[in-house]
Amino acid sequence: MQTYQALARKLDAYRRCIKTGNEEWEEKHLDAINEIMKSAPSGSGIDSAFTFPLEFSNPSKLVFDFGFHHMDENGMYDGWTYHKAIVKPSLMFNYDLTITGRDRNQIKEYLYLILSSWLEEEIHDEK
């Protein structure tokens, strides 16, 4: 399964454990989510924490927060833009990715490529 599918499934299992009071598996599913998030994009401008705030996500909508550190024409850092990546199901293309925030220097095209690549990585789920 792909990264976005694994995160949606683990999030659903985590939420069901909270509802049923299964603390042992709640912790295991949260650990699995955190393990998947270790592979999230980092570096090459995505220099602030790439986070997965669980309170804004559900199995039908995954929300990620991150910042992008821009460089000027001399290679010097010259500011940040902050973004949300929102992943929703698509009947035609498996998922629909929306990236919010300012499109400074047309950075969103690059962000779509980086995030799509990560979301589509194959994950081998033990359970």
Domain count for the chain, please give it. 1
Residue 103 placed within a domain: yes
| DSSP-assigned states of every residue in the chain | -BHHHHHHHHHHHHHHHHHHT-HHHHHHHHHHHHHHHTTS--BTTB-S--B--GGG-BTTBEEEEEEEEEE-TTS-EEEEEEEEEEEEEETTTEEEEEE-S--GGGHHHHHHHHHHHHHTSB-----
Global pTM? Answer: 0.91
Domain membership of residue 127 (yes or no) is no
Residue 100 lies in a domain: yes
| Residue 81 falls inside a structural domain | yes
Residue-number span of the structural domain to which 80 is assigned: 3-119
The two three-digit tokens of residue 126, written as one number? 């033990």
Q: Is residue 125 part of a domain?
A: no
Nearest to 90 by CA among 118, 119, 125: 119
Quick check: is 124 in a domain?
A: no
In-domain check, residue 49: yes
Tens of pLDDT, residues 83-98: 999 999 999 999 999 9
What pLDDT digit, counting tens, does each position of 63-73 carry? 999 999 998 88
At residue 77 the predicted structure's pLDDT band, cuts being 50, 70 and 90, is: confident
